[in-house]
Structure formats: structure tokens, C-alpha cells
Amino acid sequence: MTEFDVVVKNALVVRAGQPAPERLDIAVKDGVFAAFEENIAPERAAETVDGSGRYVFPGVVDAHQHWGIYNELGEDAGSESRASAQGGVTTSLSYIRTGAYYLNRTGPYREVFPEVLERTDGRAYIDYAFHLAPILAEHIDEIPELIEEHGVASFKIFMFYGSHGLHGRSSSQRDFLMIPEDQTYNIAHFEFIMRGLQRAREQFPQDKDRLSLSLHCETPEIMSAYTKLVEQEGKLSGLEAYSASRPPHSEGLAITIASYLAHETELPNINLLHLTSRKAIEAAMMMQQTFPHINFRREVTIGHLLATYETANLGGKVNPPLRSADDVEALWEHLLAGHVSWVCSDHACCREEAKFGEPRDDVFVAKSGFGGAEYLLPGLISEGRKRGLSYNRIAELTAQVPAERFGLTGKGDLQVGLDADFVLVDDDVEYTVRADDSLSTQEYTPFEGFGLTAKVTDTFLRGQAVLRDEHIVGEPQGQYVRRTAASS
């Protein structure tokens, strides 16, 4: 009988917190890392993987995806988890809410969330969990139940839903969110969500550090006014027009409001999502100085690091928008300075028939969001190493920090005892991004024609191959992950 199930030899191991990649062999037993040693004999394992010339990164914890927003949830769990594995993702954290899109229904989460779990069960090729958005007043009261019964550790506020449509023009909030006549989705509701989550932190002290609130920070009144201005003036078009209609100071203002509410409600764990601009990240840093007792995390997406409104095609419409080259440089400046907590994909598969309206080149009738998880690790390595971003820091940004923040205690690093989630990366390649090469069901990509210099060749989930030689293998083996001690 062999000692290990799998041994990976002749690769450079990239671990969070280490000064440089290490020449170590890796052993896996029963789905977890069992040893990291300089020379593990092949005969000690049932299977040997030759990693010659490649790097072993921890499996990516993609902290921001949207399964089921435009396609049936179970279908997305299958196809988009395959695309995620192409980008080195082994754990997806996907956002779910009630209202239009997703399940297109409302009601208490005790009725809705079991349907979410049922539709995704047995479909995903990677492990997964969900962030939930309290839309109805009763959802706030359900927070303790979600923590205890389902292991949900993270919740979300969409600040721009106050009076603004998902895709750019104002729409009926009540119809869109399916909320009753006596309720609104506004700043007061956001405050009550924060108070409800803080009560839950006090109710479950063993989970207080795992429970956090994420915020999509844009100001609906600013966006509604600027959308009208941009359309009436007619001077801008495409993604540049969309950026101007949701201006960077809209992000900055929302960040300050959210941060003060966190201070007021004494809720310390706040995640500022997908910061896109110089003004947004400067506002976030200002709020960190103003409220040092708040444990802020600052998120940036790979799309906002790689593309601008000039370099991407119209498929790059997303909320908040792709920005200018100056904003992209600002994000990189802050990332290299250590001010960014993690990098994610914000993957939201939107097929061509749903994405583009009539006329096709009208950005204001196109849907918001696009897939991109398949370029997460390859894109960050390709662009990051040009700028001096170390591989070990990339391991922190894509795995260790988001795993720690969101209660994924068995994931996020290459360490004995953790889930054996890892990927092999070839950083000695040059290729051009083509949508046809993606395993997503989305037929286009905003990154079409971009050049990359790193590629994920193999992805392993709990020691089992998901992607081998750039091809999906085996059947779906992804599992729903509970993230609270109260649910164990």
C-alpha cells in the first residue's frame, strides 16, 4: 500500500508569506496536503505528477462571482465552474439575491436558499459557497438562521439599487427587487442590515471574525443624473460614455457613506468591492485612516486591472464601469503598495443574445457584466510580473487573504492539513486571448486579442484533477462549503 495518493515533483512551490518560490515536492493524502519535502520518492505515491518547469500555486479562491444571474443557476454552476478551473479557481464565492435575475423570485431565504443549493448540487467542478444579500426586511431577521443552518458567513449590499437600474437607465426599484409597497431599499435599510449583522456577531462570538459585509459602492442619485447628462449631450459613446454616466466620484461618495454607517453601527468587518478608479481607492484609504477601528478589505477585479474603456470591446460593460488608463495605473500603484486585499474576477456569464441590445452598439441597452474567471490567475501573473509583483504576493491576493476573510479555514494556501487545492502554471508562454478557447458558454470576451504570458495547465481540487493539460477531466466533484463554526 502506498503512503500518498499523489506526489507532485520538480515544480516550484508558491506559498503565501514566503520570500520566494521553493523547490519542494508535494504529497497529498485523502484530499489534503500531507507533506512538503525536498525529495519525495515517486514509489511512495499511487500517482506522480511531473511539474517540471512550472509553478505550483494554491487554488484560487475567487471571492466574487455571479452564477445564475443571466443563465439558469445549475447550468452556470457547471459551465462557469469549468471556465473557472481554466483560470486556476478551485473555490467560487458567488453572490445571490432575491428579485429579478438569478431565480427571479422573492420570499424568505429559508425558502429561496434551499433551492439555490438544490440547483447547484452535483453540478460544479470546483468547490463553492454563496454570499447573500438581504433585500427584504425579513431577510435581516434571517441572518442568524443562515449562519447557523447553512454556514453563510458573508452578506452584501448593492448601494446603487436605491433608484437605479442594473444596466444604466433608472427603473422601478420595487418591480426590479420585488419588494412590497411598505418597504424600500435605501440607506436606512443598509443601516439596519449592518445592525442586524453586528447583532449576529454578538450572538455567535466563535464566528465574529468570519462574518463580514460586502458593499457595491455607487451612488444612485449621482448615476441617474449623469446618465441623463451623458445621453443628452451625446458627445461620448461606448464604454467611455458608460464610465462617464457612473462617474468615479459616485464610488467615492458611496464609500464614505458606507464607512460612516459601519462606524455608527459598530460593524467592523467591511469589504469594499471592485474598486475601479483613483477616486474610489483614495476614498477607501481615506476612510481607513478616518476609521482605523474598522477592518476594511479592498477588492479589485482582474478586468479593471487589465482593461480600460479604450482597450476593451463593448462586451466589457460592467458595474462599476471599466475606467481610464490613469485609473488602471492608480489601481496598480495601490496594489503594489499593499493597499489591495484581493483580486477577483466578478465573473458573470452573459451570453451574446442577452448581452447586446438594439442597436448593438448602444452601451446603454447592453446588459452589465461579463465572464473572466478563466483569465484571473494567468492575467494577474502576466501583467503583475511586468510591474514587479511577486508570485508569493499573488498567492496571497488570490487565495490566502480571501480564504481567511470569508471563513474558508481549510483553503487558501499550500500547507499540511489544508485541502489539496492547487494549480500548475506555465509562465514561459506567449498567446493571444480568444473567446473560442474559453470553456465558458459566453461567446465573446472583452479581452479578445489581449496578449498573456502565463497559463494554467492543471487544476486539482482536494487532490483530484479537474483540469489536466488544459482539458477538463472527470465528473463534477465540487462541494458546497459551510463557513461558520456555528453550522458545524
**What pLDDT shows up at residue 53?**
87
233-288 pLDDT, tens digit per residue, is 999 999 999 999 999 999 999 999 999 999 999 999 999 999 999 999 999 999 99
pLDDT mean across residues, the chain = 96
CA distance 290 to 270: 14
Grid coordinates representing 145 are: 438562521
Asked whether 384 and 394 are in contact (CB, 8 A), the reply is yes
**pLDDT of res. 165:** 61
Task: Identify the pLDDT of residue 164.
Answer: 61
Sign of CA dihedral 99, 100, 101, 105: positive
Closest C-alpha to 342, from 97, 29, 93, 44: 93
Radius of gyration of the chain (CA): 22
| DSSP one-letter code for 43 | G
Contact criterion met (CB below 8 Å) for 143 and 200: yes
The pLDDT of residue 366: 95
Residue 49: beta bridge partners?
Answer: 8
Taking 3-state DSSP, the helix, strand and coil percentages for the chain, each rounded to the nearest 5, stand at: 40, 20, 40
Which string of DSSP letters, residue by residue, matches 166-231?
A: SSSS---HHHHHT--TT---SHHHHHHHHHHHHHHHHH-GGGTTT-EEEEE---HHHHHHHHHHHH
Q: Given this model, what pLDDT does residue 163 score?
A: 62
Contact 133, 96 (CB under 8 A): yes
Q: Report, as ranges of residue numbers, the positions in the chain whose pLDDT lies below 70.
A: 162-171
Tell me which residue has cell 420570499: 107
Give the H/E segment covering residue 330: helix 325-336
Q: Distance (Å, rounded) from C-alpha 321 to C-alpha 376?
A: 18
Q: What are the structural domains, with CATH classification, of the chain?
A: 59-410 (3.20.20.140)
Rounded Cα gap, residues 67 and 400, in angstroms = 22
Grid cell, residue 483, equals 463557513
Q: Output the pLDDT for position 38.
A: 95
Contact between 116 and 67 under an 8 Å Cβ cutoff? The reply is: no
Pairing label, strands 25-29, 32-37: antiparallel
